[in-house]
Structure 1
């Protein structure tokens, strides 16, 4: 593949932190920006195979492809030492990012945590989003209101525990890869882009780049009533991509699917990271969705 048809690493400076990203094309004159948001503890390279598969189409149709490392992930900056990672702050980061790049039209494509962020942003700012694709995610995480006090207690205790815990280190990058292979049920080849972007070598040991504070438990979670309200507020066309062996609760979430005004659903081979396992099929699905959604 020529250099002209390759993803490039870029940095985007927000008011409070620097985000790193993988990019193809230019947002200033593109017909549409496809903005990819990865899952928890992953990074932008989670979408590298999907994006590579879309590059020729992007060149032909003048699409801008952009996959960011969320704050605290990949090559992006960590939040300040006295800050943690409440869910809504990701939505604020996304709003500032979109204001900065000012795309002509925008399709949000999120996996897992990225899908949660994309869905809530689409609800809060319907004028900014022309299409929404959620991969193995469907609206915000919720739980019964009676869990609130216990969640607050556990969340604050987890912050103290994480601060006192030493960073995990590995003898080799392959050992870090083995750890993720076990956790995500993916092969070393499938994980290679994520591992290369997400680890670093220091003093003879390998470490994850992500901020350890990302592992703190949430101190707040919406109720299901609130979650449905977000989904009901989404105005743009939306598509849900599920893995055949992904999260089973997404298959049976009928009330959530019914809350969406314009809902399509498709299932592809693979598990929770089906966009990595079936990247060619997912790329085709995205290609067709964008072509129909952007007039």
Structure 2
């Protein structure tokens, strides 16, 4: 297996999508028939580094606004469906055939919608501590819409206030100071405080998810990722999407992972046409904690359906 890790970049309209791969990149900066790995919210491509010694042809991307990929334009937001379009554009840009996809957390949700709407582009889907979607009941629609739009307005007003105090370049530096850490260890501990990650795994994510300035380390992720979603799928809509997935799906989840995944198994498993699940010892990032076991399950699943 290949252990050399290479950086890769794709240009999608105004977005620069960065990534990591352990497969040789051709002269056109392309990876032929990769195992496409999609990370979760506020993570980055480094989420899949622990898997790379055990799997060939891995290509892990940074979603827009995450890791080293560019942020969306100032007049845009991070709608869930826009990530699905990013994935479609990535396939179109590279003229990829149907691929095996691995999606962790939010990446699994995006991949699920993609597999349902573009089944000709997906051979198999492995979900890691992810099943179904974050839904909302119909009676909460108005309040969710209100809170989502208010969260955008709050961030916009905060940014306007900051811009009054300095020029754009100076303000960018000021923003970094607010969110900076004196050293990498401080940033790692901050990430550990809001997750069940182990130190070494958090270090991988933080190293790719921060940049260093003269004032310390600051987060690369777009602050707009923290705004609330104004619209969510209803339960019936989510079930309809899952029931439209025709390709084989496997779920790998941690026994100490997110409760919504365990609940989701009961809610969604009957709507898949071909579904299996395996529980491993670990938390939400079980693929980082148990990379060898996770990789073996992925490889066996893909080989069995090929």
**TM-score, with length taken from structure 1:** 0.91
Deviates more, 1:212-221 or 1:139-148: 139-148
SS at match of 1:217: coil
Matched, 1:86 2:79: yes
1:275 is matched with 287
CA deviation after TM superposition for structure 1 residue 114, in Å: 0.3
Matched, 1:49 2:50: yes
CA deviation after TM superposition for structure 1 residue 139, in Å: 2.1
**TM-score, with length taken from structure 2:** 0.88
SS at match of 2:181: coil
- Larger Cα-atom Rg: 2
| Equivalent pair of 1:27/1:103 in contact (CA under 8 Å) | no
Distance 2:194 2:31 in 1: 38
Distance 2:255 2:180 in 1: 33
1:197 is matched with 208
Structure 2: state its 5+ residue gaps: 160-174
Deviates more, 1:246-255 or 1:216-225: 246-255
Give the RMSD, CA atoms, in angstroms. Answer: 1.9
Out of 61, 77, 85, the residue aligned to residue 68 of structure 1 is 61
1:183 is matched with 194
| Equivalent pair of 1:120/1:140 in contact (CA under 8 Å) | no
Count of aligned pairs between the two proteins: 284
1:42-82 C-alpha deviation (Å, 9 max, x unpaired): 0000011112221xxx2xxxxx3210000000000000012
Distance 1:162 1:90 in 2: 21
Summarize the alignment of residues 1-295 of structure 1 with structure 2, pairs less than 5 Å apart: 5-25=3-23, 32-54=33-55, 58=56, 64-163=57-156, 164=158, 166=175, 167-253=178-264, 254-294=266-306
Deviates more, 1:242-251 or 1:267-276: 242-251
CA deviation after TM superposition for structure 1 residue 118, in Å: 0.4
1:252-271 C-alpha deviation (Å, 9 max, x unpaired): 33230100000010001111
CA deviation after TM superposition for structure 1 residue 26, in Å: 5.3
1:181-238 C-alpha deviation (Å, 9 max, x unpaired): 1111222212221111110112322111000100000010000000000100001110
Deviates more, 1:246-255 or 1:10-19: 246-255
SS at match of 2:103: strand
Distance 1:248 1:193 in 2: 25
Structure 1: state its 5+ residue gaps: 59-63
Distance 1:175 1:79 in 2: 28
CA deviation after TM superposition for structure 1 residue 162, in Å: 2.6
Deviates more, 1:191-200 or 1:165-174: 165-174
1:73-108 C-alpha deviation (Å, 9 max, x unpaired): 000000001211000000000001011222333011
